[in-house]
Structure 1
């Protein structure tokens, strides 16, 4: 607390509560509070009711404007204060916090803090409108202000010293620290997990590339072996036929030589004129002629050419197979959604749909955060609306999707009979026909649990599913461009609907339990 041994009073006792400077021509009101004469006159002039005069400190109202007389004793103390060596009057300002009627200091406030202090940057701590020091905070307008502002736009507002609101707001921020730290730790854990997944992906990719290089060599060897085998088969068939043809040629040559010899013998016999000699050789000639006579009756088959089309076709099929394979692997590479787990889907495409109260059946109560649909026995007296279901206990989301990928999850642990899916906004709402039930029409797609059995429905066509256990959480991924709506249960793909989802569709919930209190909830991401 600033004080002076010469004056025997504290410095703040010699300052005007309006301008926060040493009194200039101090005057004292009937209530006992003192002010600069100019300050009190300006305060009264700024009042909306010019005929009403009050004390800026205690707010006492004076029916008749008090006669302002100079407080001589106080003025002398101020003069003595100005003469104290080493006192820099310009830097002596009040720290925010004064006891004014509307401000009503919070009980227990540390009055020691509401004293003079040295201000480094005076201009930044002054009210831009009045030029007075800022020492108050308006909670209604959430703005800083000076005492003069109390009689202006902040009149009748809840105003507190900045020192107190400073401690209050610091408490609010301190309370946020554990939550922020927890979120930071959670995100750091996610980042660590993603980095580890990056390393695993890089490692798995490198291993796959190395193995592919090995398979390339094996493929080369396989192709070489296949071609060599086919060539070997062709040569073997060719050589076999050539061997047989050569045997036939040798046989024909042998017969031809025999014919030449027989012909020579025949000519020699015909030229033999001696009777006895001719008759002695006649029988031999006849036998030789008979032995070669059948050569003339042999018929040669038409020449045949070996057919190697089968071998060529086999190799052609191998080439065609590789062409088809090459076309497939040359297609644009796209990450398959089946390769992503549900945590990745949450991070990439996670959504938290909001329920539309205007569509909720009268027996459905919507939570304040628009996430939970609860079945009730009694009518919730929803106002009439053309979008409201009046027969099926269902509700739609207010969110609408027609492009991109969207993933959401639904908590079903509090319900034993439910339907979850998507539908066009044009799906029927009134009456008990199939056109109004999820999955009972061409405009909706639904995963249903009923009587402890799971099934999918679209256009009144159902498919029974085998779902291990009894999952409490189900995930749904809508891929509008691919035209796929995928249902997940315990990280397993249960079913994939296919349709035209480039038209706007909405997430939908049906709570089909008969008992009161059963609910289905959209999970928050």
Structure 2
């Protein structure tokens, strides 16, 4: 037999023939594709060359003896022996028997290689290997038959294959996906079988077994049909979406321009006010400095005059003190001669001192700066009045808006900022009404749909079918505004319901009866629902926050989204109404926003 090896073949197109037919029939023409089919049948699916000592497995597939033995040697021990082609598992290693027919055909091919235009060369099996640790559905991207990089994953066989090993799977029409796709994602969660069908009624992917359950009466089609139909629907909507994008882009540019203008205007106004504040502060500082200078000048003038008067009076006091001392000495002189001798000078001094009796001090005017204080008081009063006017202007603006809403509501453009200040409410959820799959947050503002049932106590107000909850707040008069955050939910209903709306059965769904009004968000689509009537709202974008303005007396519920009115419900509210929430996607959350006036 010579050196152990196999034969790789290269086919060059020669005059057409049929390989294993009668010599007369070989003379008839056949296509070159027939040759390729025969060569594929004589090629080992592991090494991709002509069989060398072909052996057969119980499943019917053949391999080179060396190829299959190396494949099993390198495979995982706990899985037994696996067919590299169909993945059938043999708990015990099967007895390998030579496939005589295939071996004879290969030898026949080698003998007639000259006639068939075939070039045959020997190739060793040293590169035959199975990558260790390989499992279907894993993250590896290597062929599970050889160690080459995988090109696709065969879904029915649950195997990663390179480009060469994909051929038998393609010929059998198996479903092929990218290597990174996990098999679990392509199987039904409930029955663990391949997904092949699509339910139009509830938009779910399903396997064949699912048709016998809750989808028994539903409109079910094959995946390929649903795929084609959905692509057709998307293709029909594509121009509208493109036009809407252009329209929204244009509006967005206008809004951005207006935002920039507003920023510039506000910045300019603030700069102007800062300049005025600087001037006012400068004026106040200069005025106070001038007043202080004037007061200091008057003080110095008066102190100078008072100082002169003090010096004069102090001199007079000293003279009087000396005169009094002389008189005391004269009274003590007992000798008549000496007394009389000094009396002449003493009387003369006393005569000069008698002028003090007629001295009168003219009082200087009191230091008065009340006029300057009055000027400062007027400036302070002016500033206080200015601040009061600003505050009063804001209040008067809100009062005018409220008066306009009362007298001419149809002429007033509703502004959410004004509505928040005038009528803002922060509803809280009523746990007694929550469906058992609705989880309520501790602050009673968030409702989340869970897979498991929560332990809510039995209560007549509890929703038994619909995953809904209502607010504790009931409105039976007046105007009220609240906001709801739906950014964490892709399918929900939000609105109001009468307090008398039923809580049991399927007809208790928001918008499906005469006692409730709501907006429904289903992915990127919006609709307004009431009494089982649905009005589609052509509003592009994924809305995350909605506002609701309830005017109970006029019977109107105005719905806002992205600072604009989306829809206005008009009805006759005979009973108190409550804000209400319904969450229809697993794990989705809806939140009442806390509004601070």
TM range (shorter): 0.3 to 0.5
Query: TM-score, length-normalised on structure 2?
Result: 0.32
By relative contact order (CA 8 Å, sep 6+), the higher-ranking structure is: 1
What TM-score comes out, normalization by structure 1 length? 0.36
